[in-house]
């Protein structure tokens, strides 16, 4: 059958960068589980299995199983009952209370809605706020700087959905750099529906400063549009922040949290913190698209939020674990990359990745991805993360000189993978 897809279908059904990434990750894991050759998976966003955190989930499952059938929080109700599409009421109240106490915000459970993962939250929000409007206008999502999260790129029902700006590149020392928002170039026009940033940023590990976020929030207020902040790696959980940074929220901000990076990616639990109007809209979309959301993540996490234990887990276990892994991976980069190579690494301020820039790379990063894959190492080509730019900016050579590398895998795999990348890149420059 020769299927003809709709415009919507063409956007979602015919492949994407995020699809390629997840296929690589899933297929490599399946191959390894079946006893085949193991790939060194330095491309995906799979969080590490931290023994203390894995033990915590087992403990929570045991506690859940010990609750008598029919009582609140028992296993049977968690897997056998529909929750309201907005989320588990007890979970929503506990989370609002914790955020108020920890950050001084003024939330109620009506300001929070659960989705089937943060990715779903962005699909809902982007398409609810931007695209074709009832009056015939077309609106876009503004990305103040790219590279930005690969998972946004194909989320729109319509084409030409994003308007992005190139960053200012601050070169630091011999082999580091940092992206900063170019506020002088940034323009919020009438066709902008919302501003969106990830913080810490996927793919680069960049953390926008508190000052940059406040300036973006002021721009959003000036133009009466939301500022959407992707907080999947941020505070209060999992708090994979290595830079000095404070979360922010007010009625103009839509803050997206997730249970994935704290160690529960399989539960697919996203959290939208927003005005009551936006939270209600997200709840309506969840009901229409999927009836209700996954209960398991909220059930596992709920008591830890209510007691505040999740803050201790994030601050004393998760954050130090990833910071140590980041520092170790950076040390291997210094060890294996010859000093004369024109490489730079973005300063690691959070999240689970290192972002490498190879200036004047003789081949495209997609070709580099293929060459590394042939050598048993999976990375992500950086060109996927530069979307929404105008035609002139798309020609910017930098968009095809970077790769994303994750450091969450076993140390021996990360070390070996970085050595192979360094060897391959050195070989390419020498051609």
pTM over 0.85: yes
- Asked, for residue 71, whether it belongs to a domain, the answer is no
Q: Specify the pLDDT at position 38.
A: 76
CATH number at residue 165: 3.40.640.10
Encode pLDDT of 306-362 as tens digits: 999 999 999 999 999 999 999 999 999 999 999 999 999 999 999 999 999 999 999
CATH number at residue 24: 3.90.1150.10
- Asked, for residue 60, whether it belongs to a domain, the answer is no
- Asked, for residue 72, whether it belongs to a domain, the answer is no
In 3D space, the residue among 188, 244, 166 whose CA is nearest the CA of residue 211 turns out to be 244
- Asked, for residue 301, whether it belongs to a domain, the answer is yes
Q: Specify the pLDDT at position 28.
A: 54
Q: Which residues of the chain have pLDDT under 70?
A: 5, 7, 11, 14-37, 394
> Are residues 193 and 129 located together in one domain of the fold?
yes
> Are residues 200 and 151 located together in one domain of the fold?
yes
Query: Which domain range does residue 45 map to?
Result: 7-53+313-430
261 and 352 in contact (C-beta within 8 Å)? yes
Q: Which residues contact 283 (CB under 8 A, 6 or more apart)?
A: 84, 85, 86, 87, 113
> Are residues 30 and 127 located together in one domain of the fold?
no
- Asked, for residue 30, whether it belongs to a domain, the answer is yes
Q: Specify the pLDDT at position 33.
A: 43
Encode pLDDT of 90-102 as tens digits: 999 999 999 999 9
> Are residues 301 and 325 located together in one domain of the fold?
no
> Are residues 350 and 376 located together in one domain of the fold?
yes
Three-state secondary structure string covering 41-69 = ECCCCCCCCCHHHHHHHHHHHHHHHHCCC
Report the C-alpha gap between 236 and 344 in whole angstroms: 30
Q: Which residues contact 43 (CB under 8 A, 6 or more apart)?
A: 21, 24, 25, 378, 379, 380, 404, 405, 406
Q: Are strands 402-406 and 377-378 parallel, antiparallel or unpaired?
A: unpaired
Q: Specify the pLDDT at position 34.
A: 46
When divided into structural domains, the chain yields a total of 2
Residue 416's CB: how many other CB atoms inside 10 A? 18
Which of 309, 336, 366 is where one domain is finished? 309
> Are residues 45 and 144 located together in one domain of the fold?
no
> Are residues 114 and 207 located together in one domain of the fold?
yes
205 and 355 in contact (C-beta within 8 Å)? yes
Q: Are strands 168-172 and 227-230 parallel, antiparallel or unpaired?
A: unpaired
Which of 266, 288, 309 is where one domain is finished? 309
Which of 253, 278, 309 is where one domain is finished? 309
Q: Specify the pLDDT at position 22.
A: 59
Q: Specify the pLDDT at position 37.
A: 58
Report the C-alpha gap between 187 and 248 in whole angstroms: 22
Query: 363 in helix, strand or coil?
Result: coil
> Are residues 296 and 326 located together in one domain of the fold?
no
- Asked, for residue 76, whether it belongs to a domain, the answer is no
Q: In the numeric block, which tokens belong to residue 412?
A: 């021996």
Q: Specify the pLDDT at position 390.
A: 86
């Amino acid at each position: 059958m020769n299927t003809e897809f709709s415009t919507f279908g063409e956007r979602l059904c015919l492949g994407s960068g995020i699809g390629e990434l997840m296929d690589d990750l899933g297929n490599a894991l399946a191959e390894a589980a079946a006893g085949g050759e193991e790939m060194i998976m330095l491309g995906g966003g799979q969080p590490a299995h931290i023994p203390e955190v894995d033990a915590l989930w087992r403990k929570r499952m045991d506690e859940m199983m010990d609750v008598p059938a029919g009582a609140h929080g028992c296993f049977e109700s968690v897997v056998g009952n529909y929750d309201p599409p907005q989320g588990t009421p007890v979970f929503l109240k506990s989370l609002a209370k914790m955020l108020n106490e920890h950050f001084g915000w003024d939330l109620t459970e009506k300001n929070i809605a659960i989705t089937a993962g943060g990715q779903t939250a962005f699909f809902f929000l982007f398409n609810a706020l931007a695209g074709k409007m009832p009056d015939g206008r077309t609106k876009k999502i503004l990305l103040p700087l790219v590279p930005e999260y690969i998972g946004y790129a194909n989320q729109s029902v319509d084409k030409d959905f994003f308007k992005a700006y190139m960053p200012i590149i601050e070169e630091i020392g011999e082999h580091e750099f940092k992206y900063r928002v170019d506020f002088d170039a940034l323009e919020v026009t009438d066709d902008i529906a919302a501003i969106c940033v990830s913080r810490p940023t996927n793919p680069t590990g960049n953390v926008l400063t508190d000052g940059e976020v406040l300036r973006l929030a002021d721009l959003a207020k000036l133009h009466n549009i939301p500022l959407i902040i992707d907080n999947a790696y941020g505070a209060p959980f999992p708090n994979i922040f290595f830079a000095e940074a404070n979360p922010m929220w007010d009625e103009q901000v839509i803050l997206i949290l997730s249970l994935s990076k704290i160690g529960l990616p399989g539960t697919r639990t996203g959290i939208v913190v927003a005005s009551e109007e936006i939270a209600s809209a997200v709840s309506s979309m969840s009901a229409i698209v999927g009836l209700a959301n996954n209960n398991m993540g909220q059930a596992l996490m709920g008591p830890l939020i209510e007691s505040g234990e999740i803050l201790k887990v994030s601050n004393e276990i998760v954050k130090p674990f990833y910071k140590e892994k980041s520092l170790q991976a950076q040390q291997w980069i210094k060890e294996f990359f010859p000093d004369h190579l024109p490489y730079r690494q973005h300063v690691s301020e959070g999240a689970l990745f290192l972002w490498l820039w190879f200036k004047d790379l003789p081949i495209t990063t997609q070709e580099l991805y293929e060459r590394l894959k042939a050598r048993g190492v999976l990375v992500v080509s950086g060109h996927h993360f530069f979307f929404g730019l105008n035609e002139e900016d798309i020609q910017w050579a930098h968009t095809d000189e970077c790769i994303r590398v994750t450091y969450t895998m076993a140390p021996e795999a990360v070390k070996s993978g970085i050595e192979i990348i360094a060897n391959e890149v050195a070989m390419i420059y020498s051609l």
